[in-house]
Amino acid sequence: MKKYLRFAVLLLTLSALVMALGGVGAQDAKILYTGRQMGPDDIPTLDPSVASDVPSVAVIAEIFPELARLHEETAQIQPGMATWTVSEDGLTYTFNIMPEVSWVKYNADSGAVEQVMIDGAPRYVTAADYALGMTRTLDPIVASDYSYVLAPWVVGADAFQASAEATEEERQALIDGLGITVVDDYTLEVNVTRASTAFEFIVGMWITAAQPGWVIEEYADFWIEPENIVSYGPFAVKDWTHEESLTMIKNPFWAGTESIPAPKLDEVVFRFLDEDPQLAAFEAGELDVSEVPFSALARVKADPVLSQQYYSDFGTCTYYYGFNVRQAPFNDPRAVLAFSMSLDRQAITDNITQAGELPAGFFTLPSMNAAPQQADYPEYAVLTDVEAAKALWEEYLTETGQSASDFSPTILYNNSDLHAAVAQAVQQMWAEALGVTVNVAAQDFGTYLDQREDADIYRAAWCFDYPDTNNWLYDVFHSANDPDNGFNNAEFDDLVSRAAVEEDLATRTALYAEAERLLVRDAASVAPIYYYVTDDITADGIERTHSVITREYYEKWDITR
């Protein structure tokens, strides 16, 4: 990989009038306190190439804007840090990057967000910084969990991803061969492998954001710590007290665009809390936005004040259990299907989640483009059928000469009262229907992510990165993308590969329906459980948007009280 020149980084100290709060006195500061989207554990990372989780991306999207921007309420693509043109054959994208956007850093000593300087002038975000971000995401040494989303689109990316053992000279040749070309300081050209408007959604993802190569070279894995990190978006990182909170502060050098305006808030404080303590903090006036725990939902809806502050709408994710198909009994689809069919999804949504979630028979969220609908393909969906589950499980046990007592799988989930309640309910359902003793294990979020692919059964949720079924079936379960649970099915791969380039919507949807049939029934490896709702509670005096894309854009929020 190219070595990036090291420059002495000089910080331009702002005048005393432009302090940490962007020029307002502390008594006038608009500080939003929220626990939403965070959970009780620390944020795993702020590295755009490494992030694969909602809490990390919630912050990254605000400090490292992408070339394109996914509108949080319409899920439509719009310009972010760039506008672009596409060649007639659809294979070359030319991005015109907004000029003179400063790299900035919060200085704890001065209490100000300051421009990063080079040779006495502000250091600006350039096409080379975006090229670096994409290249790091594709780099096998960085080992991005999300490289599989970008790699199929960029010319030369597959060869580069296979270069982990290559020499430095060979690696450099592969990097030079990527379809990522810096034309000039503010022009980036990307050559793609196939023509599709879906690529515009890909460059609207955090994995393609600009990155500060000189800082990464100096600090390696520690470049994301608050004392080191530099960024360029509407907010900067002011503080990251690990395991407790992260604070973003308004970037006074972000002039704002139509899609990414200058913030009205001065700071956003994320507190790492589970849902119950979040709501308690909200009711004590310590949080402005909170998630609503399932245990308090009925009380919130019945309360004359809280019910007016509560918001709920159709969600962005599917809650599911993944089964490790590398090992018995789940290397036999009959076992997976038996476990899946014995789940009473309606009881889970009625008695545990209670926010209007819909029982899921397919993996893909039904609101996605080209998503098959359960009503149109009822014989393909997985539905609760305990008697059929028992018969299938007995068939498997008889044929393999085993008994239910031979198995005691463990469900792995990340720390959450909700996940624990669902796991305990599932544990009882499987004991009653299948006679299987199931264990449960909770881990902090980072450990859970590391251990998931080795778990017998893992709780997971897929929340879309862009609103198309390709992001669910190809990006998650195509064998080239190394699914966590080991799913590998040639027929499935062929179906989702054909659907990715199919132009006729009806044909495309039918291909995805066949793929869902394999994933949840005929070659079963997952048990979809329910489709989320998006719900939270917001204090009076907060003007906000309600996102449908799993991340909020706080630069559009305001405090008016």
Shared domain for 322 and 195, answered yes or no, is: no
Distance CA 544, CA 514 (A): 40
Give residue for tokens 């982990």: 164
- Count of CB atoms within 10 A of residue 405's CB? 9
Cα 210 to Cα 133: distance, rounded to the nearest angstrom = 5
Which DSSP string do the residues of 257-310 spell out, in sequence order?
A: -SSSPPPS-SEEEEE---HHHHHHHHHTTS-SEE---GGGHHHHHHSTTHHHHE
Q: What is the pLDDT of residue 27?
A: 53
> Is residue 301 situated within a structural domain?
no
Question: Are 328 and 195 members of one domain?
Answer: no
Does the pLDDT at position 163 exceed 70?
yes
Contact at 8 Å (CB) between 410 and 330?
no
3-class DSSP state of 522: helix
- Do 511 and 554 share a structural domain? no
pLDDT in tens, 210-254: 999 999 999 999 999 999 999 999 999 999 999 999 999 999 999
Across 499-512, average pLDDT: 91
HEC profile of 301-318? HHCCCHHHHEEEEEEEEE
Residue 236, Cβ density class (10 Å: 0-12 exposed, 13-18 middle, ≥19 buried):
buried
Would you state the pLDDT for residue 21?
Answer: 39
Examine the domain organization and report whether 115 and 176 are in the same domain.
yes
Position 16 confidence tier, pLDDT thresholds 50, 70, 90: very low
Q: Would you state the structure tokens that stand for residue 416, as one six-digit string?
A: 């959450």
> Taking Cα atoms as reference points, which of 322, 347, 115 lies closest to residue 231?
115
pLDDT digits (tens, 9 = 90+) for 275-285: 899 999 999 99
Residues 252, 349, single domain; the answer is: no
Task: Please check whether residue 235 lies inside any domain of the structure.
Answer: yes
Q: Model confidence over 535-546: pLDDT tens digits?
A: 899 999 999 999
Q: Which two tokens stand for residue 382?
A: 């997985």
Separation between Cα atoms, residue 81 and residue 231, nearest integer Å: 13
Q: Answer yes or no: is 292 within a domain.
A: no
As beta bridge partners, residue 181 has: 189
Residue 440 structure tokens? 């449960």
Domain containing 452 equals 313-534
Environment class of residue 120 by beta-carbon count within 10 Å: exposed (0-12), middle (13-18) or buried (19+)?
exposed
Task: Answer yes or no: is 294 within a domain.
Answer: no
Distances (CA, A) of 526 to 272, 451, 462: 30, 17, 12
Beta bridge partners of 97: 82
Residues 384 and 455 in one domain: yes
Distance CA 113, CA 106 (A): 4
b (16+ CB within 10 A) / e for 314-323? ebbbbbbbbb
Tell me what pLDDT residue 294 has.
Answer: 83
Of 86-90, 219-223, 374-378, 547-551, which range is least confident? Answer: 547-551
* Within a domain: 306: no
For the chain, give me the number of helices (H) and strands (E)? Answer: 18, 23
Q: Is residue 136 part of a domain?
A: yes
- Mean pLDDT throughout 52-57? 91
Confidence tier at 445 by pLDDT (50, 70, 90): confident
Measure the CA–CA gap between 279 and 289, rounded to whole angstroms: 9
Domains in the chain, number: 2
Q: Is the pLDDT of residue 534 over 80?
A: yes
pLDDT band at 37 (very low <50, low <70, confident <90, very high): confident
For range 70-77, the mean pLDDT = 89
Query: Does 129 lie in the same domain as 72?
Result: yes
**Domain presence at residue 50:** yes
Q: Does the pLDDT of residue 268 top 50, yes or no?
A: yes
145 with 211, same domain: the answer is yes
Mean pLDDT confidence for 415-424:
92
Burial class (CB in 10 A: 0-12, 13-18, 19+), 310: middle
Look at the block and give the residue holding tokens 């990251």: 240
Mean pLDDT computed over every residue of the chain: 91
**What average pLDDT score do residues 461-478 get?**
91
One domain, residues 259 and 327: no
Residues 48 and 81: their CA atoms lie apart, in Å, by: 15
321-342 average pLDDT score: 97
Least confident residue range of 22-31, 139-148, 424-433, 518-527: 22-31
**pLDDT value for 370:** 93
Angle CA(206)–CA(212)–CA(215) in degrees, nearest 5? 130
Who's near 278: CB < 8 A, 6+ residues apart? 35, 36, 271, 287, 290, 291, 293
| Predicted pLDDT of residue 172 | 93
Evaluate whether residue 2 is within a structural domain: no
Q: How far is it, in rounded angstroms, from Cα 238 to Cα 225? A: 10
CATH number at residue 54: 3.40.190.10
pLDDT band at 20 (very low <50, low <70, confident <90, very high): very low
Model pTM above 0.75: yes
Distance (Å, whole) CA 401 – CA 395? 10
Residues 233 and 325 in one domain: no
Shared domain for 410 and 323, answered yes or no, is yes
